[in-house]
Every structure is written in structure tokens, then in C-alpha cells.
Amino acid sequence: MTAVDISTITKVYSGKANRCMCGCAGKYSYTAKGAVEDNPGYDVSDSVNERSVKIIAGRVLRNSTDLSDAGYAVLEQNGRVSVVFFKE
């Protein structure tokens, strides 16, 4: 298994499928740079977890057939949705 390069990733989301992605049904994890450059307007330093970013990004990038050109990649599997958000 190859290592995931997170230098192009700002954040990931993992949550229940078919729900909103505001964070109530899942969790956002940020890279250190992503927390500074791509925060939602409030302090997300408690959500910086590059290990989670690597794990979720690796799973999405290995299994997703839809690598969107819109700046994100999505994997829906087993009632869960995982999203990787890339730097613009």
C-alpha cells in the first residue's frame, strides 16, 4: 500500500450517507495547512488530525470511481460517505 500525499488535501469528511454534511451526522478532519487556509470562518484547530486525513483519503482514493474535477472525491460505502477536499 502506498502512502497518501496529503499536500494537495485540505480536509476530509466522514459521516452517514444521505444526510447533510454540516457535521451533525459526521466529522471533518483537517490538515494543519487546511485548518489555516480552508477553515469555515471559525477555529478548527481541534479538528486537525492528519492521521485521519491520510486514512480517509487513502480509502477514498483507492476505492472511488468518481474522482471529481470539482475539487473533491467521494466514496459512498456501507451506509457511510467519505469525501476528500483538494486545494483549489
Q: How confident is the model over 7-41, as pLDDT tens digits?
A: 999 999 999 999 999 999 999 999 999 999 888 89
If one compares 88 and 9, the residue with the highest pLDDT of the two is: 9
Total domains in the chain come to: 1
Q: Quick check: pTM over 0.85?
A: yes
Which domain, by its residues, includes 70?
A: 6-86
Take residue 48 and report the three cell numbers written for it: 486537525
In whole angstroms, what is the distance from residue 61 CA to residue 58 CA?
5
Chain segment 56-79, per-residue pLDDT in tens: 999 999 987 666 667 899 999 999
Neighbour-count burial for 15-42, b at 16+ CB within 10 Å, e otherwise: beeeeeeeeeebebbbbeebbeebeeee
In whole angstroms, what is the distance from residue 45 CA to residue 18 CA?
27
Query: Is 1 part of a structural domain of the chain?
Result: no
Query: Is 16 part of a structural domain of the chain?
Result: yes
Query: Is 50 part of a structural domain of the chain?
Result: yes
Take residue 66 and report the three cell numbers written for it: 468518481
Take residue 39 and report the three cell numbers written for it: 477553515
In whole angstroms, what is the distance from residue 79 CA to residue 76 CA?
7
